[in-house]
Amino acid sequence: MLAADPQDTSVLAGGQSLIPMMNFRVALPGNLVDINFLDELDYIRLDDGWLAIGARVRQSALERSDLAAREAPLLTEALQFVAHPPVRHRGTVVGSIAHADPAAELPAVLRALDGEVVVRGELGERRVPASELFQGPLTTTVSPGEMITEVRVPARSPAGGAVVEISRRVSDFAIAGAAVSLWGDGAQPAAIALFGVGPIPVRAQAAEALLSDRYGAPSTEVGAAAMSEVSPSGDIHGSAEYRRSVAGVCVERALARARKGGS
């Protein structure tokens, strides 16, 4: 169906991002493909060392999932920041990732966990790692005529993890945020993903490298390292300088919390 008229067709899952845009008449798809009745896409399961989440899974369902809490606790932690429960009752995990809002939590968590998505189109299925998925604000490498059917993260219990975000009101879009996973002192001890600080979520590579070098480096130093590698743009909710500043604070605080065995 998506392939029939790809430029004028959108996928309707939770609709929590799409329908407001349609109400504003900013998004005007001629066709909607409603996947809400596709029960076969409603699963949370372990699949060969990965936690696999189908496109129909509601955010609140993942929040309640014991499996997810065990195998990908950073996802569970991030969900409490996503809007409000009534929105999470409808919004889907895959939907938030496909929507790719630069200030959204789940795309950043996907980056932090080195996850991937399964994209299905007329020509078949492909896997896209998180590092290649996000192209720009509200833009992914999923083409018109394709849709994400599943999101996957390696099933792995971290040594600690935390999500910290700064927003105007509790539950608003992040002005800046950090999702941190600590894997223990080893080859890749930490994953730090930032959101709200640029057109797409990014891994704070300099900060991660610092921790690789010195796993016990002070959180403030790591935060400063993260700050130095982002150049966000500003808007009415936060100037560019403000976003950069608080991005560093988010990393510092998320790391501190993760070190206390958070999540």
Partner 1 sequence: MNRVPIAVTVNGVRHEAEVESRLLLVDFLREELDLVGVHIGCEHGVCGTCTVLMNGESIRSCITFAVQADGAELTTVESLAQGETLHPLQEAFWEKQGLQCGYCTPGMLLRSLELLRENPQPSADEVREAISSNLCRCTGYQFIIDSVLEAAEQMGA
Partner 2 sequence: MATAHHPPTRDLSRERKWVGKSIRRVEDPKFLRGRGNYIDDMRVPGMLHAALVRSPYAHARILRIDVEAARQLPGVFAVVTGAQAAELTDPLPDFGPAADKHVWRCLAVDKVRYVGEGVAAIVAESRYVAEDAADLVEVEYEQLAPVVDPEAALAPDAAIIHEPLGTNLAYERTFTFGEVDRDFAEADLIVSDRLRWHRSGGQPLETVGAIATYEIGTGMMTIQTNSLSFTSYLFMLAGTLKIPPNRLDMQPHPAGGSFGTKLFATKVSAIAGMLSKVVGRPVKYVEDRIDNISNCDHHGSDRVYYADLAVMRDGTLRSLRVHTIDDYGAYIQFGVGHHGNALAQATGPYHIGSLEYGVKAVLTNKCQQGAYRGFGSEVHNWMLERMVDLAARELHMDPAEIRRANFIRKDEFPYFIPTGNVYDSGDYEGVLDKALALADYEGCREMQRQAREEGRYVGIGLVTCQERSVFSATEFWFWFDEPAAPVTSMPESITLRVGALGDITATLYSCAFWGNSPETMVAQLVAEEFDVEPHDVSVIYAGSRNGLPATGPGGSRTTVMLAGAIEGATERIKEKAFKVAEHMLEANVDDLEWREGGVQVKGSPGTRKSLGDIALQTHLFKHSLPEEIESGLEASKVYDHPYTTMPSADRSDLGVFYPFVGHACHIPIVEVDIETGQVRFLKYVAVHDCGTLVNPRSLAGHITGGVMQGIGTALYEQFVYDETGNLLTQSYLDYLIPTAMEAPEFVIGHQETPSPWTPHGIKGGGEGGRMMAPAAVAAAIDDALAPIGVRARVLPATPSRLLELINGAKQATAEPA
Chain residues binding partner 1 by CB under 8 A are 12, 15-16, 19-20, 22-24, 32, 34, 36, 60, 84-87, 89-90, 170-171
**What x/- string results for residues 212 through 251 when contact with partner 2 is judged by CB under 8 A?**
-----------------------xxxxx-xx--xx--x--
Binding residue for partner 2, selected from 90, 171, 189, 215, defined by CB under 8 A? 171
Which residue, 158 or 196, has its beta carbon nearer to partner 2?
196
Tokens standing for 183?
């894997």
- Candidates 44, 100, 112, 166; binder of partner 2 (CB under 8 A) is 166
- What three-state secondary structure class fits 186? coil
CB of 28 to partner 1, least distance (A): 10
Interstrand relation of 147-154 and 116-121 (parallel, antiparallel or unpaired):
antiparallel
Task: Give 136's strand partners.
Answer: 139
How far apart (Å, rounded) are the C-alpha atoms in residues 88 and 223?
30
Which listed option, partner 1, partner 2, none, makes contact with residue 87 (CB within 5 to 8 Å by class)? partner 1
Query: To 10 degrees, what angle do helices 205-213 and 219-228 make?
Result: 150
State the burial class of residue 241 (Cβ atoms within 10 Å of its Cβ: 0-12, 13-18, 19+): exposed
**Is residue 146 a contact partner of residue 120, using CB atoms and an 8 Å limit?**
yes
Kindly tell me which residue out of 172, 189, 206, 221 binds partner 2, with binding defined by CB under 8 A.
172
Instruction: Pick the closer one to partner 2 by CB: 42 or 221.
Output: 221
Is residue 26 a contact residue for partner 2 (CB under 8 A)? Answer: no
Nearer to partner 2, 56 or 243 (CB): 243
| Alpha-carbon span 135 to 148, nearest angstrom | 15
Q: Does 8 bind partner 2 (CB under 8 A)?
A: no
- The piece of 124-132, 141-149, 170-178, 202-210 that touches partner 2 (CB under 8 A) is 170-178
Of positions 7, 25, 37, 213, contacts partner 2 by CB under 8 A: 25
Residue (15 or 196) nearer to partner 1, CB: 15
Tokens found for residue 120: 């299905």
Q: Which does 36 bind (CB under 5 to 8 A by kind): partner 2, partner 1, none?
A: partner 1
CA distance 204 to 112: 9
CA–CA dist 133, 142 (Å, integer): 8
Tokens 């590092």 label which residue? 131
Contact between 155 and 71 under an 8 Å Cβ cutoff? The reply is: yes
Smallest distance, Å, CB 85 to partner 1? 6
DSSP output for 1-16: -TTTSGGGEEEESS-T
User: How far apart (Å, rounded) are the C-alpha atoms in residues 4 and 72?
Assistant: 36
Nearer to partner 1, 36 or 245 (CB): 36
Q: Which residues bind partner 2 (CB under 8 A)?
A: 24-25, 166, 168-173, 175, 235-239, 241-242, 245-246, 249
